[in-house]
Amino acid sequence: MWRAFARLPRALEGGTEVVQQITLTQHLPPHSNVRNFCSTYYRKKHNLQPIIMTSSSKPKVVFVLGGPGAGKGTQCSKIVDRFLFTHLSAGDLLREERSREGSEFGTLIEDYIRNGKIVPVDVTCSLLENAMKNSGKSLFLIDGFPRNQDNLDGWNRQMSEKVDMQFVLFFDCDEEVCVKRCLNRGQGGSGRSDDNLESLKKRIQTYNNDSLPIIKHFEGAGQVKKIDASPDADKVFSEVERTFLSSGF
Ligand SMILES: Nc1ncnc2c1ncn2[C@@H]1O[C@H](COP(=O)(O)OP(=O)(O)OP(=O)(O)O)[C@@H](O)[C@H]1O
Ligand SMILES: Nc1ccn([C@@H]2O[C@H](COP(=O)(O)O)[C@@H](O)[C@H]2O)c(=O)n1
């Protein structure tokens, strides 16, 4: 592998890009020059924007949003396999807290989930912050958050100064497709108390009324990367991969 790539620097002589963050050849050591050169080479070949990353001690966060069943979790697993991210799903953390023995929020969380309502942010944000701290990692996909204005306000109060939010990955998917996927997931034995038509109607309503305005807010700030989530999962991922590579990951 070393020998194969050792000639790339000469091929790039005269280049002016400075690339500190590595996106390709993740099997190579994190700070190797070979990885730097390969990353630069890839960007040139595919005519991608040169990325000059400044080093930051703050953890980096990508918010992952989209309707129920749009494929957020599925794509997050693929991103984790391909890039160096840690996946934190707000829904998973809430379900875990609901099932934790002695949790003072168990009943409240179950009621909110079954009815497709958004749990008060203090609960969710604390679960997210603890999970980030406990992971010891610094690159996070935060899936299913912020879902409403209360989530966003709470995050801004508690977390926004502590992290660098990179962008919002938005999985755009028709309502009927989303519902079908969740119902299939339920029939496949997800065990989720909200993968049924009654809960789904409420979840979709919450998404349209409360979550879409938050996505629009980020869009207005130029922070949204929108992905068509209707094709098959591999096709969706090729678009996701391109997005992460062109963002310097
Ligand atoms: N691109 C796709 N095409 C077809 N089915 C998909 C696709 N992506 C995911 N699925 C399936 O749809 C269901 C929902 O996917 P997933 O759990 O990833 O969605 P989600 O957005 O995380 O949902 P939720 O917000 O409800 O947790 C799963 O059964 C998954 O296997
Ligand atoms: N920020 C959030 C995220 C989720 N919830 C609740 O969990 C349910 C399931 O979430 P998924 O992301 O796994 O679909 C969701 O319908 C909410 O009830 C929340 O309150 N706040």
Q: Return the CATH number at 168.
A: 3.40.50.300
Nearest ligand to the CA of 77 is 1
Same domain, 113 and 26: no
51 occurs within a structural domain: no
Same domain, 125 and 160: yes
Mean pLDDT (the chain, rounded): 85
- Residues of the binding site for CMP: 151
Same domain, 33 and 114: no
The number of CA neighbours under 13 Å toward the Cβ of 55 is: 3
245 occurs within a structural domain: no
At which residue do the structure tokens 């994190």 appear?
30
CA dihedral over 134, 139, 144, 149, signed as positive or negative: positive
Same domain, 144 and 215: yes
> Ligand 1 site: residues with CB under 6 angstroms?
66, 68-74, 91, 144, 181-182, 184-185, 232-233, 236
Same domain, 134 and 218: yes
The answer to whether the beta carbons of residues 121 and 114 sit under 8 Å apart is: no
195 occurs within a structural domain: yes
Same domain, 14 and 128: no
165 three-class SS: strand
- Number of structural domains in the chain: 2
- Whole-model pTM: value is 0.83
Ligand 2 neighbourhood includes 147 CB (under 6 angstroms): yes
How does pLDDT run across 45-66, given as a tens digit for each residue?
555 544 444 556 899 999 999 9
Same domain, 105 and 215: yes
Tell me the CA–centroid distance for residue 113 and ligand 2, in Å: 6
Q: Nearest 5°: CA angle at 97, between 85 and 134?
A: 40
Mean pLDDT of 110-135: 98
pLDDT number for residue 44: 52
Amino acid letter for position 121: V
Strand pairing report for 164-172 and 139-143 = unpaired
CA dist 249 and 24 (Å) reads: 8
How does pLDDT run across 180-200, given as a tens digit for each residue?
999 999 999 999 999 999 999
Same domain, 115 and 195: yes
How does pLDDT run across 140-182, given as a tens digit for each residue?
999 999 999 999 999 999 999 999 999 999 999 999 999 999 9
- Residues of the binding site for a ribonucleoside 5'-phosphate: 95, 117-119, 144-147, 192, 203
Same domain, 169 and 78: yes
201 occurs within a structural domain: yes
Same domain, 141 and 203: yes
Indicate the burial class of 104 (C-beta count within 10 angstroms; 0-12, 13-18, 19 or more). exposed
Same domain, 141 and 20: no
Which residues are 61's β-sheet partners? 140, 165
Tell me the CA–centroid distance for residue 198 and ligand 2, in Å: 15
pLDDT number for residue 57: 87
- Read off the DSSP letter of residue 33: H
223 occurs within a structural domain: yes
Tell which residue, 86, 110, 84, has the closest CA to residue 97: 110
The answer to whether the beta carbons of residues 192 and 186 sit under 8 Å apart is: yes
ipTM score above 0.95: yes
Amino acid letter for position 186: G
Tell me the residue range of the domain where 141 lies.
60-237
50 occurs within a structural domain: no
12: pLDDT strictly greater than 90: no
Q: Ligand 2 pocket check: which of 63, 118, 196 to mutate, most ligand atoms within 8 Å of Cβ?
A: 118
At which residue do the structure tokens 């305005």 appear?
213
